[in-house]
Amino acid sequence: MLDRILGPRVPADLSAEQLRGYRLPTLLFSGAALLLIISILMPYWHLDLKAPQFPDGLVVEAFVNRLQGDVVELEGLNHYVGLGSFDDGAVFERSIAVLGILGLAGLLGASLFVHSRWVLFITLPALLFPIIFIVDLQWWLWNYGHNLDPLAPFAAAVGEFTPPIFGPAEIAQFDTLALPGPGLLVAVAASVMIGFGLWHHRKAYKPLIEAAMDTA
Amino acid sequence: MRRLRGLWAKGPIKGVALLATFFLVVGACSSGDDDSGGITSSVAEERGFTQDQIDAALTTYMPSGEIDPYIMFASGGQGGQVIVIGVPSMRILKVIGVFTPEPWQGWGYGAKGTEEVLAQGQVNGRDVLWADTHHPALSETAGDYDGQYLFINDKANARIAVIDLRDFETKQIIKNPVAIVDHGGTKVTPNTEWVIEGGQYATPHGWEYAPISSYESDYKGMVTFWKFDREAGRIDESSSFAMELPPYWQDLCDAGKLVSEGWVFCGSFNTELATGGIEDGNPPFEAGASARDNDYLHVINLDKAAEVASAGNTFDVNGFPMISLQTSIDEGLLYFVPEPKSPHGSDVAPGGDYIVVSGKLDPHVTIYSFEKMMTAIDTENWTLDQFGVPVLDFDSVMEAQIEVGLGPLHTEFDDQGYAYTSLFLDSAVARWSLGPPYNDAWELIGTVPVHYNIGHLSTAEGDTVSPDGDFLVAMNKWSIDRFFHPGPLLPQNFQLVDISGPGDDMSVLYDMPIGMGEPHYGQIIKADKLSPWDFYPGVGFDPHTMSIDPNAPVAGNERIERNGDQVEIWSTAIRSHFTPEIIEIQAGDHVVWHITNIEQSVDSTHGFTIPGYNINLSLEPGETATIEFEADMDGVFPFYCTEFCSALHLEMMGYFLVKP
């Protein structure tokens, strides 16, 4: 079974040009793993808020495991609208985020040894990670906007809403603009690399697998 | 106007470039032969403005959101406060509560820290809650303003206050233990080691009684040197001392700098020792104290005096060390120089090499050479006054005399080697050139009329080792016809004068009414030398210890504790609520109430009042304060936030219930 998952080994006697075809997926998967690890240090989501009494605006940046920026000021303002505390959001996700991403990178590392179509299962979590992040964030935003404290002074005036995950919105006197952060862009780049890696992986190993099956 | 353009262009404030461009265009057309063309303004046309008026308006105009390149700290006169003014727009930014309670800042309305500072200003245990603030002095490093502290004196009660320019709040008030009244302060030495407080009307020392008939023997003059501890941000009374002087009326002092560092120069008048008594047919003080042609510039060796004081060669007045006049004479601490008729100002030139004196009943400024003074002292080229103090030979120490006009008072300097002297009687400012090494000759350059009866004047950083020039503010006592008359008590008039041009090119740009007291002196500092806090650095910050109070309430530990009939409350304030909101106690309880503004964003200040109890606090972001009072009045008292803080400011209240 393990042999089937690992798939065939690369023949020993290859020209430099032939070797390149096998190295390409290795490079792309390793690069993607590296990018994912780096992305931990970068904000995934960026929210600008502008209002007349904040001439320099307010900013919140979401990393995978924490928030940065004018968090205290916004926490203070949130209670007017009845938005919940940032501390109560995505607690589980934030607690596992760093280990989870390291795990995804680890899977990408493991995939270097897998020369069968099983590679798809091993790399798929990393490939889909940006989408998972976006869906989860969207869910939390919906959750925040639909669980306003009914006793909050401005809850009724603002009403239930879903802050858009990307793009502009208006909430009370604030004009907001949500943008993907560099971390998310790096994670997307990692996904693209994994995609290309899979394509090159198939190109390189499919003939070997078929040859092995023919021999069998 | 030409050089001012440079000021704007190099100015630290963003967006000035646009204005500078505007100036270039206006300047270009003003330098032409006619006044037409260039920028057309229907407003200027309709109001019939001349080109000079348009230039003046544009020089002082600050578009919304732009910040003045200079800040002036002016005394608030009888208001007992300090006025903070942006220059050149001449907009009042703040009136700092100093000797007088100031309700907006919660200065003296219940907050214990502020009450304690005000209580330091008590005279014989009596509250004195007004002051005649005269002369602010910015702290200096190497003779240049450093933007850290401000000192100011109260002439009426001989007191000195220390203001910290991180939060623009008064930290300390000191009552002079020797004198009941002062005048010649404050000035600082070039590194702010000493704050100088000169005397004025001679009195028996220690606030004692002696009959006027014993004026010559029992009445004394004085100068006090307060040691400033920059680290602590406080005057260290225990290292300070005073010098006993003859009962002349000492006037303004200035500290020597550079070559004259370590020396102090104070003017004086009434060397006649007049004792008044117009009711008995004697000459009134105004005549008696003006009879002689000369009074005495006091030349004091401060470095040596400090050594004498620290060696303990002093006597005690009210527990404060004082160097006797005889010790000063014996140790060579004090010399006199004749100065023409009833002088007022005594100002040291930027290089420290010359001392400028104006006898207000003499039309000249008299300039003394420090070097020549030292030579006269070394060669003992002196006679003795009636108290035995050496009087240096006038001709051997005088460098120059320039006839500038009538009623010369105070002098400041610029970066072109010019000096500016206020002319009270002429209602004008005289510009004159300093001789070598500043300029070629000691001569009058020109005058500019001001409106009216100018007292002090202030040029940008004009009493430092490197004056800026650019602007001068004439601090006029009378405004007569400059403003609407708000009743018979008229505002003072600060006039902004453009002194950036050469020669006699000076012009009045702006009239600023001051309707809250009669300021005396002011100092102008570059705005970028100041770095005040936007909010207190940390929640629970006590401005009077300048540190975070470990006992300050913070979010989550609000509580009420009763101990016998003492109720202690820990409250927080944040937009838009206090915690707790309902507080019920028993009449007669002693209340100790701590309250912290737990915000940390710019301008999120909260007020706090308890009606009927004469309490109002200003809690700037992060600040904590404590109030303590007997709840001797029962009833229901809605306490509330007195600073409009947020959309739900009106709801930011609570009930303080005192059960009968």
* CATH number of the structural domain spanning residue B557: 2.60.40.420
B469 Rama sector, left if φ>0, alpha if ψ -120 to 50, beta otherwise: left
Tell me the one-letter amino acid at B366.
Answer: T
Q: Are residues B26 and B87 in the same domain?
A: no
Q: Are residues B517 and B585 in the same domain?
A: no
Q: Are residues B645 and B518 in the same domain?
A: no
Tally of domains within chain A: 1
Q: Is residue B535, in this structure, part of any structural domain at all?
A: no
Q: Chain centroid to CA B102: how far?
A: 17
- Distance separating alpha carbons of residues B362 and B347, to the nearest angstrom: 17
Q: Is residue A9, in this structure, part of any structural domain at all?
A: no
Confidence bin at A39 (pLDDT 50/70/90): very high
Question: Two tokens at B420?
Answer: 């500016």
Report pLDDT digits (tens) over B124-163.
Answer: 999 999 999 999 999 999 999 999 999 999 999 999 999 9
Closest CB to A72: pick one of B600, B648, B651.
Answer: B600
Q: Are B203 and B212 in contact (CB under 8 A)?
A: no
Asked which of B529, B564, B580 is the last residue of a domain, the reply is B529
Residue B629, domain extent: 541-659
- Is 50 exceeded by the pLDDT of residue A90? yes
Q: Is residue A6, in this structure, part of any structural domain at all?
A: no
- Distance separating alpha carbons of residues B511 and B490, to the nearest angstrom: 14
% of chain B surpassing 90 pLDDT: 92
- Distance separating alpha carbons of residues A208 and A212, to the nearest angstrom: 6
Q: What is the pLDDT of residue B16?
A: 40
ipTM above 0.85, yes or no: no
Work out the average pLDDT over B79-103: 98
Tell me the three state secondary structure of residue A198. helix
Q: Is residue B536, in this structure, part of any structural domain at all?
A: no
Residue A193, domain extent: 26-215
Q: Is residue A98, in this structure, part of any structural domain at all?
A: yes
Q: What is the pLDDT of residue B127?
A: 97
Q: Is residue B112, in this structure, part of any structural domain at all?
A: yes
Q: Are residues B53 and B98 in the same domain?
A: no
Q: Are residues B13 and B90 in the same domain?
A: no
Question: Two tokens at A158?
Answer: 């603002």
Please name which of B614, B575, B610 lies closest in space to residue B593, comparing C-alpha atoms: B610
Q: What is the pLDDT of residue A87?
A: 87
Q: Is residue A8, in this structure, part of any structural domain at all?
A: no
Q: How buried is A151 (Cβ within 10 angstroms: 0-12 exposed, 13-18 middle, 19+ buried)?
A: exposed
Please name which of A69, A28, A179, A52 lies closest in space to residue B647, comparing C-alpha atoms: A52
Q: Do B575 and A153 touch (CB under 8 A)?
A: no
Lowest mean pLDDT among A82-96, B253-267, B406-420, B469-483: A82-96
Q: How many CB atoms lie within 10 A of CB A140?
A: 17
Asked which of B529, B556, B581 is the last residue of a domain, the reply is B529
Q: Do A153 and B574 touch (CB under 8 A)?
A: no
Q: Which residues contact B563 (CB under 8 A, 6 or more apart)?
A: none
Work out the average pLDDT over B182-210: 96
Q: What is the pLDDT of residue B210?
A: 98
- Is 60 exceeded by the pLDDT of residue B495? yes
Mean of all residue pLDDT scores within chain B: 94
Confidence bin at B478 (pLDDT 50/70/90): very high
- Distance separating alpha carbons of residues B253 and B195, to the nearest angstrom: 11
Q: Do B574 and A76 touch (CB under 8 A)?
A: yes
Q: Are residues B104 and B143 in the same domain?
A: yes
Please name which of B544, B529, B538 lies closest in space to residue B170, comparing C-alpha atoms: B544
Confidence bin at B573 (pLDDT 50/70/90): very high
- Distance separating alpha carbons of residues B540 and B125, to the nearest angstrom: 31
Q: Which of A70, A73, A158 to mutate to test the interface with B (most CBs of B within 10 A)?
A: A73
Helix orientation angle between A119-145 and A182-215, rounded to the nearest 10 degrees: 150
Residue B279 has what DSSP assignment? G
Tell me the three state secondary structure of residue B415. coil
Report pLDDT digits (tens) over B440-462.
Answer: 999 999 999 999 999 999 999 99
- Distance separating alpha carbons of residues B660 and B655, to the nearest angstrom: 15
Q: How buried is B482 (Cβ within 10 angstroms: 0-12 exposed, 13-18 middle, 19+ buried)?
A: middle
Report pLDDT digits (tens) over B281-318.
Answer: 999 999 999 999 999 999 999 999 999 999 999 999 99
Tell me the three state secondary structure of residue B152. strand
Confidence bin at B4 (pLDDT 50/70/90): low
- Is 90 exceeded by the pLDDT of residue B484? yes
Q: Is residue B44, in this structure, part of any structural domain at all?
A: yes
- Distance separating alpha carbons of residues A173 and B227, to the nearest angstrom: 53
Q: Which of A80, A151, A173 to mutate to test the interface with B (most CBs of B within 10 A)?
A: A80
Q: Which residue from A minimizes the CA distance to B65?
A: A55
Q: What is the pLDDT of residue B55?
A: 93
Q: Is residue B99, in this structure, part of any structural domain at all?
A: yes
Which regions of B120-220 does DSSP assign to beta strands (E)?
A: 137-141, 144-154, 159-164, 169-175, 187-188, 194-198
Contacts A72 to B, Cβ<8 Å: 600-601
Which CATH number covers residue B413? 2.130.10.10
Q: Are residues B227 and B289 in the same domain?
A: yes
